[in-house]
Chains A and B, each alone.
Chain A
Amino acid sequence: MTERSGTVVGPRPPTVIVDDLHVVYRVRGAGRTKEVKGGATAALARMISPRRLAGERRVHAVKGVGFVARRGETIGLIGSNGSGKSTLLRAIAGLLPAESGAVYSDGQPALLGVNAALMNDLSGERNVVLGCLAMGLSPREVRERYDEIVEFSGINDKGDFISLPMRAYSSGMAARLRFAIASAVNHDVLMIDEALATGDRAFRKRSEARIRELRAEAGTVFLVSHSLTSIRDTCARTLWLENGELVMDGPTDEVVRAYEDSAGRRSSAP
């Protein structure tokens, strides 16, 4: 039969397997996460009464999602606010426990979120070095890649900003530097949560090129974005989440068209 060790017949090997995943948030006090402020899930949270701690709410943010991501794929995630996109990514990264079901992954998926602050008191320079060391590079590798990272981020385009503390950066600059650091290493699985939205046009082009490079180097890239253009430009496959459920999973063109139709219906409804 087709069983040959190591070699793959037909589809490329999977890098992430999500099996009937349910994620339940427990929120203490005022909600901080986007999912809580969102419409449908917040209503759901109000329906489920607090169980253990006073003021603790349970939010069923991901309900029975299952899919297989393969090597070399770039997968877009779309859905309205609070549909569970970010939660799904954080569960894949192993940062949120699964209530039931499971996530299997190749290596350690890296999540690049929009709020992934590094060390704001320290200079951009130090953040580059520390970020790279934290990802497991040796000091020599860091020295080798340092210039490339700074150049890619474009931080020094308007003067010597890299030696300033990160708290002095604009949000776009900080996001660019974070992306430059995180993408300096070839991750098996890289997940990008709106992190590119704050960059300017030139940087978006650069980062899209870098994402294609990562994919060519046999990684898998997930991209959450509200910009359907950037999803169309970078992703061949798209998942559409709504209310924590997987509505559609297929080629980007089909899924985005269906999503736009549905969004159009909702906005024109009385």
Chain B
Amino acid sequence: MSRDVIPRHGALDPEVGAAELAARYGLGVSGARPSPVEYTRRLWGRRHFIAAFARARGDGQYSRAHLGRLWQVMTPLLNAAVYYLIFGLLIGTRDGVPDFIPFLVTGVFVFAFTQSSVLSGVRAVSGNLGLVRALHFPRAVLPVALTLAQLRQMLVSMAVLVVIVLLAGQVPTWSWLLVVPVLLAQSVFNAGLALVAARLGSAVSDLAQLLPFVLRTWMYASGVMYSIGNLTADAPLPVRVLLDLNPAAVYIDLTRFALIDSFTAAQLPPYAWGVAVAWAFVLGVGGFGYFWQAEGRYGRD
């Protein structure tokens, strides 16, 4: 007769117990975190949302600017121009680097992809609290979609890059196709990094202020505007190993290797391809797991 004991106006019946009643009707704890497999399945179920959100973000980014989407091309170009002025002309890191303009522009664009992924990732949850609090979806959608938006930007930059490389006198070869696997690995790496940044940024709101400095340090250590090989020829071994394992430097150098004739395999860090794939795997899986662990806590105060 237990069921008849439940009062009509729902004060809980002490004899049945909430947990038992919930179990009987298949109710779950509200806001509980699903298993990683279930989480991945739900994330896949929202793939259309990810694509649409990435597209909307890409378009929305410049919607307040008069020149609109022209900035997608202008921003990387202006960046490259600034670095060329400072490092190419004033400081002269181009000494000993053949084809310095393609070398520099490749570095700037490839690093910008990782940089912007991390920067948009750190605000992925904290900057979309309205959405997070209003609608239920796996929160990993946000950093993944924002990385995808940055990938779209990167594809525009790549088109610009090809034009610059051609203007600089490079001749298209089959090796240019190597850009595709490099970009793929870097995208997975960036998504993982964005997931990590999103979780950290949702808990520590000061991180968004701190991150630009971290990223600038990382950029100066990644051989964007100089050749690491030239600089570290006499450096102690641990320093060289550390610089060679730097994922940003590896993705930059592999892209240069693909596009620039004078950048040969000899200039690549050792095991560059293996290191590139390993970083993508470690950050892709690790970042996803790290973000998943806090699912159910995003959007809370």
Q: Which residue numbers of A lie inside 8 Å of B, CB to CB?
A: 1-2, 9-11, 13-20, 25-27, 33, 66-70, 90-97, 102-106, 108-113, 115-119, 121-122, 126, 129-131, 133-136, 138-139, 165, 178, 182, 237, 249-251
Contacts and interface: CB of A to CB of B under 8 A. Distances in A.
A59 B15 CA distance: 31
B64 A121 contact: yes
Given A19-B19, A112-B134, A121-B60, A94 B48 contact: no
B299 A13 contact: no
Contacts of B52: 129-130, 133
Residue of B6, B18, B131 with most partner-chain A CB within 10 A: B18
Interface in B278-301: 296-297, 299-301
Interface residues of B, number: 44
Which label, helix, strand, loop or mixed, suits the secondary structure of the A interface? mixed
Given A96-B301, A136-B46, A117 B25 contact: no
Contact of A249 (B4, B9, B49, B53): B9
Contact of B30 (A20, A25, A69, A92): A92
Which label, helix, strand, loop or mixed, suits the secondary structure of the B interface? loop
A9 B3 contact: yes
Given A68-B21, A237-B9, A104 B28 contact: yes
A90 B46 CA distance: 23
A115 B130 contact: yes
Contact of A68 (B12, B19, B26): B12
The 8 closest A-B pairs by CB, nearest first: A94-B31, A19-B18, A116-B134, A104-B22, A117-B130, A68-B10, A133-B49, A94-B30
A178 B27 contact: no
A26 B301 CA distance: 7
A9 B5 CA distance: 12
Nearest to A13: B25
A75 B10 CA distance: 11
Given A17-B27, A249-B9, A136 B45 contact: yes
B134 A94 contact: no
Contacts of A116: 130, 133-134
B134 A118 contact: yes
B19 A66 contact: no
Contacts of A14: 10, 21-22, 25, 27
A157 B154 CA distance: 41
Given A122-B63, A249-B10, 14 more contacts: A17-B12, A17-B18, A68-B10, A68-B12, A90-B133, A91-B30, A94-B32, A108-B136, A110-B135, A110-B136, A113-B134, A117-B131, A134-B46, A136-B45
B6 A11 contact: yes
Contacts of B141: 134
B137 interface: yes
Contact of B134 (A111, A138, A237): A111
B24 to A, nearest CB: 9
B300 A17 contact: no
Interface of B: 1, 3-4, 6, 8-12, 18-19, 21-22, 25-32, 45-46, 48-49, 52-53, 56, 60, 63-64, 130-131, 133-137, 141, 296-297, 299-301
29 contacts: A2-B4, A11-B3, A14-B22, A14-B27, A17-B21, A17-B27, A19-B12, A20-B18, A33-B301, A66-B12, A67-B9, A68-B6, A68-B10, A94-B30, A94-B31, A95-B31, A102-B29, A103-B31, A105-B27, A106-B25, A115-B130, A119-B60, A126-B56, A133-B53, A134-B137, A134-B141, A135-B136, A138-B48, A178-B134
Contact of A133 (B9, B46, B301): B46
B131 A134 contact: yes
Nearest to B129: A117
A10 B7 CA distance: 10
A9 B297 CA distance: 37
Contacts of A109: 30
Given A2-B1, A26-B301, A103-B29, A134 B49 contact: yes
A93 B31 contact: yes
A102 B25 CA distance: 16
B21 to A, nearest CB: 6
Contact of B301 (A27, A102, A178): A27
Contacts of B137: 134-136
A104 B130 CA distance: 24
Contacts of A94: 30-32, 296
A249 B10 CA distance: 8
Contacts of A113: 133-134
Contacts of B32: 94
Contacts of A17: 12, 18, 21-22, 27
Contacts of B19: 19, 102, 104
Contacts of A1: 1
